[in-house]
Copies of this chain bind each other. A is one copy, B any other.
Amino acid sequence: MDRLLQSVKININEKIYVKDPESSDLGRRIIEESILMIHDMGFESFTFKKLGVKIGSNESSIYRYFENKHKLLLYLASWYWGWLEYQLVFATNSISNPKEKLEKTIEIVTKGTEEDSSFSHINEVLLNKIVINEYSKSYLTKEIDAENKEGYFIIYKRLVTRISDMIKAIDADYPYASSLASTILEGSLHQYFLRDHFPSLTDCHAKNAPTAYFLNLVFSILIPKTK
């Protein structure tokens, strides 16, 4: 990825954290190590106590950054979607042809993250895997409506809206632009999960196969209509 990304700070809703983890060394270590730990042990087994031991700090200190591990997950997910959105906007901004633009977009949001920018403390490859395995848990809760109202999911929603708008730009009459956009994002994560754990339920085995699958899907739906 472009080195420029390094200097861009992903803007995350301040209500998600108690204290901005980007504002201190401890905060950055919390983010850095939590990604490694959640990836290793899964979100359920991950605790602030264990994280404290790992970063040589104290449980109570971590609570000064995040109310609980659910909020930390919301933070990591927001960061990931913000990072993806940045890449998307950066890569498609100059494309004026609507079809090309959507193609590029699908490519970006469905390709697996394979290399770490290795500039920041955030390992994007592992974060992508965390999003695949844990993102649903961040919204499949009883608190979803309240948290949505607080704006904890704006970045994700904005991303879906961007894709939806591009779909509409190609076919203004297609009545399911938002559903299709959300299917691409969600469905892509799901296909990667299936590839790793239920290989018989997917055809996406090769590298970046979800991209080919969704490109075929989307343009089978949209293009014939515009002819």
A residues with a Cβ closer than 8 A to B are: 41-42, 44-45, 133-134, 136-137, 139-142, 144-145, 148, 153, 157, 160-161, 175-183, 186-187, 190-191, 193-194, 197-198, 200-204, 210, 213, 216-217, 220-221, 224
Query: Quick one: closest B residue to A221, CB to CB?
Result: B220
Q: Quick one: which of B137, B178, B203, B221 contacts A217, CB cutoff 8 A?
A: B221
5 contacts between A and B (CB under 8 A): A178-B202, A182-B191, A182-B198, A216-B221, A220-B220
Total copies of the chain? 2
Contact A191 B179 (CB under 8 A): yes
Pick from B145, B160, B191: contact of A201, CB below 8 A: B160
In contact, B213 and A179 (Cβ under 8 angstroms): yes
Task: Give the 3 A-B CB pairs with smallest separation, nearest first.
Answer: A42-B142, A220-B221, A136-B136
A224 touches B213 (CB 8 A): no
Q: Which residues of B contact A141 (CB under 8 A)?
A: 42, 44
> Are the CB atoms of B197 and A176 closer together than 8 Å?
no
- The residue that A198 contacts in the complex, of B148, B175, B224, with Cβ under 8 A, is B148
Interface residue from B42, B187, B210 paired with A187 (Cβ < 8 Å): B187
Measured in the bound complex, the distance between the Cα atoms of B141 and A45 in whole Å is 10
The residue among A182, A190, A200, A221 with the most chain B CB atoms within 10 A of its own CB is A182
Shortest A69–chain B CB gap in Å is 12
Contact B183 A190 (CB under 8 A): yes
Q: Measured between alpha carbons, how far is A145 from B136 in the docked complex, in Å?
A: 19
Q: A183-B187, A187-B183, A221-B217 are in contact. Are A139 and B200 (CB under 8 A)?
A: no
Output the least CB separation between A13 and chain B (Å). Answer: 16
Closest to A161 in B: B200
Q: Smallest CB–CB gap between A42 and chain B, Å?
A: 4
